């Protein structure tokens, strides 16, 4: 007996579309994802995609919402750590392993030029994370965990830029190195540099 395929709810289908955009961004690059790629991967027609999202910009806004939520979650979790440098690098590396397209989405100027709400959301999320890391490094300086001759803001920029560079290299090199191992090596190097003299 043939069974009719169960239809997904609108919310489930929207979530599936967002997940698929992120997966395709990892495989193709975010700038190259088309609605035809998306429809083929989801197994629906292009008009079906546009029943859930009125425009391609709306799709990217939903992707941005997902990415922002994940980045802000890292900021919250780092706030519970005694060693924010270690926590930030470890958690961001884990996030990028879960979402390999993340560095490409965050750094794509073409994508962001076409999607101002996406760009604004990403800038805001990274600022939330930066503010949290600056505060926690300042707290660490007060406890004697980190050196005090470099400002907390400069340290936070160093940590976040190092993490970003490492994750982008992982994408560019097609995952040629183990991101968790590289993250640990980077943590040890930064910890030595930032330790009190």
Q: Where along the chain do its domains lie?
A: 57-194
Structure confidence at residue 6 (pLDDT):
57
Closest CA to 99 of 56, 143, 63: 63
57-194 carries CATH number 1.10.357.10: yes
d(CA 186, CA 171): 17
Whether residue 167 contacts residue 96, with contact meaning beta carbons closer than 8 Å, is answered with: yes
Paired tokens of 70: 């994940």
Structure confidence at residue 24 (pLDDT):
94
Q: Low-confidence residues of the chain, pLDDT below 50?
A: 1-5
Structure confidence at residue 4 (pLDDT):
41
Structure confidence at residue 125 (pLDDT):
85
pTM: 0.82
Paired tokens of 92: 């961001």
Backbone torsions φ then ψ of 55, nearest 5 degrees? -140, 165
Structure confidence at residue 169 (pLDDT):
94
User: How many residues in the chain?
Assistant: 197
d(CA 158, CA 161): 5
Structure confidence at residue 3 (pLDDT):
39
């Amino acid at each position: 007996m043939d069974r009719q395929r169960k239809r997904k709810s609108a919310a489930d289908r929207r979530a599936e579309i967002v997940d698929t955009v992120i997966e395709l961004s990892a495989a193709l690059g975010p700038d190259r994802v088309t609605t035809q790629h998306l429809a083929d991967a989801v197994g629906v027609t292009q008009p079906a995609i546009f029943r859930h999202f009125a425009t391609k910009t709306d799709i990217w806004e939903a992707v941005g919402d997902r990415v922002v939520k994940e980045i802000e979650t890292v900021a919250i979790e780092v706030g519970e750590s005694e060693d924010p440098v270690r926590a930030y690098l470890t958690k961001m590396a884990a996030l990028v392993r879960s979402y390999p397209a993340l560095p490409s989405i965050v750094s794509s100027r073409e994508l962001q030029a076409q999607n101002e709400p996406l760009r604004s959301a990403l800038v805001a999320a990274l600022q939330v994370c930066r503010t949290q890391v600056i505060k926690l490094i300042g707290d660490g300086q007060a406890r004697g965990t980190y050196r005090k001759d470099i400002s907390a803001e400069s340290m936070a920029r160093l940590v976040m830029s190092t993490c970003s560079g490492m994750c982008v290299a992982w994408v560019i090199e097609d995952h040629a190195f183990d991101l968790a191992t590289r993250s640990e090596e980077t943590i040890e190097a930064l910890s030595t540099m930032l330790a009190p003299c």
